[in-house]
Every structure is written in C-alpha cells, then in structure tokens.
Structure 1
Amino acid sequence: MVSRIGRGSSATKLISKPRRCRRQSPVKGPPSPSSLVSFIRRRLARIFSRLTRLSTPESARIRCEGFELQKKLHAEPDASPTVHMSLFRDHCRLPPSHMRTVFVDLDETLVHSQSDPPPERFDFVVRPVINGRRMTFYVLKRPGLDEFLEAVSKRYEVVVFTAGMKEYASLVLDEIDRNSAISHRLYRNDCREMDGKLVKDLSCTGRNLRDAVIVDDNPNAYALQPENAVPIGPFTDNLEDEELQRLVEFFEGCGEAEDMRDAVKQFLGETYNTLVL
C-alpha cells in the first residue's frame, strides 16, 4: 500500500508499508510409526461409524417387526409373504443331556386359558403384564396333566416349547410344574417365523432328532420335522379327555426304540387303524 506524505511539498515521498511475512514452518520429516498407527485407527473408526449409521434403519425395522409380532398372545401372526426370518438365537440351544427329549406344547395341549369374563371352570389364575398392561387369564389344566409330567420326566428330558409370550407362559409353567418335572422352557422368541406362521425348529435346540419327539396340537408348529411329531387334539374344557393318559402309555412303551421317529410312525399307524375300526 502506498501513502502520500507532505501536502504541497516539492517532492513526493512514497513510503511503502512493510508486508507481513508468514512464518515458515520447519520442514517435516517422515511420520513416526506411532503417529501412522494413530492415523490409521482414526480413519478406520470413521469408516465403521459411517457403516453403523447406514445400517441403523434396517436394524430398527427388524426390532419393530419383532415388537409387532409379540402383540398377540396365542394367535398365529397374520399371513404375510414368505419371510423365513428366524427369531432363533444361540440362547435357544439347550444344555447337553444324556436323556431323550420330549418337546411339548403348552396352550391347548397341556392347558387351556382365557381372559375375562371368568369361565365356569378353571384351576388357577395368572396376571401377566404384557405391553405395559396387566391382564388376567383363567387357566384350566388338561385331565391327567400332573400324572403325565411325573411319568414322562422319569424317563425323558421334558422341554415345554410354546409359541406363547414368556410374560404369560412362565407364570403358567410355575403353577403346573411345582415338582420341577420340566427341564427347560422355550417361548415365542425361540420360534421361527415362516410364511407368517410360528414354527418350532427342533434342529436348532442341540438335540439329535432320532432322540426327540414333539407333542403339539398345531400342525404348523412341527412343519419342519413332521416325522418327530405326535399330534394331539386341542383341549378346551372336556374333563373326560384322555389324550395325556394315552401319551403316557406311548412314552413308557417306546423307550427301547433305536429311533424315536420309527416309534412315532408305528404309534400313529396303530392309532389310525384303531380309529378306522
């Protein structure tokens, strides 16, 4: 910048203001190994942070679907396009056992329950809290339930596998299993969802299928292993029902079978022939 000094003087002096000089940085040498490692770590942290943000919407969608699935207590989920989404996690794998395993359903197989108004007959009441709301269920035990659990648990590992919500089913099981005949409990979040239906996949439980049987009133439940299934009629309030007594005889008589699936096949064949005759 130039300024003029001394108005009217014969000579005009031009004075230039000194420029500000930027301080030069010392010449940098090659980065040390420690600083290079820190730089790489920072870059990787940024990359993983971006990937996490990108995946969050999908994770939130899956969690939302799981929440919506658990809104219904007993009913199957509404029919939907094939999803083949597994609700199974590693926690459904059972601890090792030296005994053969009987998987048995809960609702309409061992008990029948309903909400208000109270039915004419019931054995006990449970009041679970579901989705923040306390509900009341009146539960009727199937005839022969206590004898069934006692007899089968002497020879087999008994696992209750229900599509009911844990908040409800755990309270019912506490009532009917006062003698600890049931070894393990599996609930709705241990099922698979396939074609809008809840399926109980025995292959993910850590049990050899040749040593396992499932008793259930719903054919959808054992769709993946029908050869392991002993169907049972649904129970509501028939106090003359003898289905569990019949199953006690079956399990007491097939203990020596090399493959439980062969015993099931023979049992179902004999049952069918009896019904036809």
Structure 2
Amino acid sequence: MVSRTPTKPPPSPKLGAGSVTPSKPSPTLVARRGRALRRRLSPATTKRRGSPLKSLASAPAAVAASFDRSIRSCRRRLLKLFARLAVLGSPRKRRAASAGFQRLRSSSTPPPPPPPSQNPAVRAQSAALPPPPSPGRRTLFLDLDETLIHSQTDPPPSRFDFTVRPVIGGQAVTFYVVKRPGVEAFLRAAAEIFEVVVFTAGLQEYASLVLDRLDPDGKVFAHRLYRGACRDAGDGRLVKDLAATGRALDRAVIVDDNPNAYALQPENAVPVAPFVDDDNDQELQRVMAFLDVAAGYEDTRDAIRYYKDLVTAN
C-alpha cells in the first residue's frame, strides 16, 4: 500500500523570465535615502520662495516709493525750467531781478528785527489774521504796486486801464492804474490753491479802491493788509513781517518786487521784476507756473530755495 502523504516539501514555483524577486531594502539603503531626502528639504539647499502674502504686502510700499521719487524728480525739473524762463525777460527785468538777488545775498546775516514803531499811523492796524479757512492751506501774500499793477498821478500815462480817486489828507487825488498783463487769470488760478492775502505798503484809502477793481466780487482776496500792518524799520523802510500774521512760515509765500519788504523772511519770498508799462510782460505767468509746483511741497521754503539757486546760477 503506497502512502499519499508527501515526504518532501513541494518545489518552489518557478518565476518567469521577466519577474523580479522581491526583497526588503537593506538598512544602509534606507539611511542613504533618508539623508538625501533631508538634504533636499534642508533650508540651506532649498531655494526659498517668497510668500505671496509678503510680496503683496511689500508691493504697495515699493510702488509708493517709486512714485514719490518720480514726483520729486519731476518737481526738480519743473523748477529748473521755470528758473531758466525767469532769466529770459527783457534786459531791464534781468537787471532788476539780478539786483534784487544781489541785495538778498549781500547780507550774510539776517537783519535784526526792527524796533517797535513810534508812528501811530503804522501801529493802527494789526497784521494778525483770522485762522485760515482750512487747516494746512498755504497762504500767498501778494504785493500790489509794481507787482500786480502800476499807478501814477498826473500827468496821465498814454495808456491806463482805470482810475481811482481816493481822498488823502483831505484832498482827492486821481491815480491812473495799469494792470500787469495776465493779472486777472493769475489771481483766479492762485485763489484755487492758495489763501490769497494782499499785503501792501500802500495807504488803505488808495489801495482798497484798486483792490475793489481787481476783485469786484470779493472771491479772490481772503484778507487785505495795508500800510498800517507793516513794521517801521526806523529808517523810512516798511517791512512786512509774515510771522506776525499768524500763518505758518513753512506754508507761506510772498511775491514782491521790493526786497526791503520781505527782509525779515527772505526765504519765503519769490522776487519779481517791477512792472511799469511793458505790454509783453510775462512775470505773473512764470510765478503761477512756479506756484503750481511749490504747492506740492511740504515746506514751500524748500521749493523757493531751489528756485532761487537756479535763477542765481543762470
């Protein structure tokens, strides 16, 4: 009787030609792969990518900085252009402007404050102004005679725009007034971006009548300061002290043809050539173009200083 119980273990199944015998990875291979993976994920060898949130957060600052640099560069170029235009006037204007700058530069130290006036007529009016209509608004102080207009008494000039007849010292005096070319457009444009204040050494009886003709609707001049608001320097000179008006000097500009008038704050002054009767005069157009740029400066004195340096250099 033959036993059916197998006495040998069954043979292992044969593998095909393309089959691979499965085998467990050796500990050395596992360690090597782990080190390679750690090196691949290491901060020292991995190229860091910027966080999208950080990139978005830093983008506005970079754009703002680039935009600010562009604005500053544009302002400098415009000021340089206006300074070049300022010296292209007639020889008489160039001599007058040059003389004004030389008088300003000749004094290495600022003049001492003038003593209090002993003239009751000069002390009659205070230069202090009410607060500006809006906080931070810049103030433009404008001279009247030889800056905005030219006037004279008899004999009448060959051409004039209007007359005023104030009573001075009990006697009526006729003044023939010539407006500087472009004065109406200049005043309208200036009033849009500045608080416009007339600061004149002229008598109120005369100057008020002229200003009424220049601003008949009362929409341009926020305030009017006459001779009584000037300070007497003690030697016959009348000085316009901007510090006494209650306006911040870093937001104030004075346009005047007389350097003596702004001797206390020359850094706030934009000098202009005196006007008499030149029909081709373009001084106010140049001043307005400069004021458009200066209005964008945090401190208007910085724009004025740069403008004066360019004019002096040219």
Is TM > 0.5 for Structure 1 vs Structure 2?
yes
Q: Is the 8 A contact 2:125 2:229 kept in 1?
A: no
Selected match of 1:85 from 116, 131, 142 = 116
Query: Following TM superposition, by how much is the alpha carbon of 1:123 offset from its aligned partner in structure 2, in angstroms?
Result: 0.3
Task: Tell me the distance in 2 between the aligned counterparts of 1:193 and 1:159.
Answer: 20
Which residue of structure 1 lines up, in the alignment, with residue 195 of structure 2?
157
Selected match of 2:251 from 180, 194, 211 = 211
* Alignment of 1:189 onto 2:224: no
Which residue of structure 1 lines up, in the alignment, with residue 287 of structure 2?
247
Query: Following TM superposition, by how much is the alpha carbon of 1:159 offset from its aligned partner in structure 2, in angstroms?
Result: 0.4
Selected match of 1:143 from 154, 166, 181 = 181
The number of residue pairs the alignment matches comes to 193
* Alignment of 1:125 onto 2:125: no
Query: Following TM superposition, by how much is the alpha carbon of 1:88 offset from its aligned partner in structure 2, in angstroms?
Result: 4.6
Task: Tell me the distance in 1 between the aligned counterparts of 2:284 and 2:130.
Answer: 27
Q: Give unmatched runs, 5+ long, in structure 1.
A: 1-81
Task: Tell me the distance in 1 between the aligned counterparts of 2:225 and 2:157.
Answer: 28
Q: CA RMSD in A?
A: 1.5
**1:111-138 CA-partner distances (Å, limit 9, x unpaired):** 0000011110100000000000000000
More contact order relative to length (CA 8 Å, sep ≥ 6): 2
Shifted more, 175-184 versus 90-99: the winner is 90-99
Query: Following TM superposition, by how much is the alpha carbon of 1:269 offset from its aligned partner in structure 2, in angstroms?
Result: 2.1
3-state SS of paired residue (1:91): coil
* Alignment of 1:106 onto 2:133: no
What is the identity, as a one-letter code, of the residue corresponding to 1:107? D
Which residue of structure 2 lines up, in the alignment, with residue 230 of structure 1?
270
3-state SS of paired residue (1:109): coil
Selected match of 1:95 from 101, 106, 130 = 130
Aligned counterparts, 1:41-56, within 5 A: none
Which residue of structure 1 lines up, in the alignment, with residue 56 of structure 2?
none
Task: Tell me the distance in 2 between the aligned counterparts of 1:123 and 1:89.
Answer: 32
**1:83-142 CA-partner distances (Å, limit 9, x unpaired):** 722345673211111221000100000000000111101000000000000000000000
- Structure 1 runs of 4+ with >6 Å offset: none
Q: TM-score, normalised by structure 2?
A: 0.59
Aligned counterparts, 1:36-75, within 5 A: none
Larger radius of gyration: 2
Query: Among the aligned pairs, what percent are the same residue?
Result: 56
3-state SS of paired residue (2:159): coil
Q: Give unmatched runs, 5+ long, in structure 2.
A: 1-112
What is the identity, as a one-letter code, of the residue corresponding to 1:200? K
What is the identity, as a one-letter code, of the residue corresponding to 2:126? H
**1:126-172 CA-partner distances (Å, limit 9, x unpaired):** 00000000000000000010011000100000000000000000000
What is the identity, as a one-letter code, of the residue corresponding to 2:116? M
Task: Tell me the distance in 2 between the aligned counterparts of 1:172 and 1:90.
Answer: 19
More strand by share: 1
Task: Tell me the distance in 2 between the aligned counterparts of 1:248 and 1:128.
Answer: 31
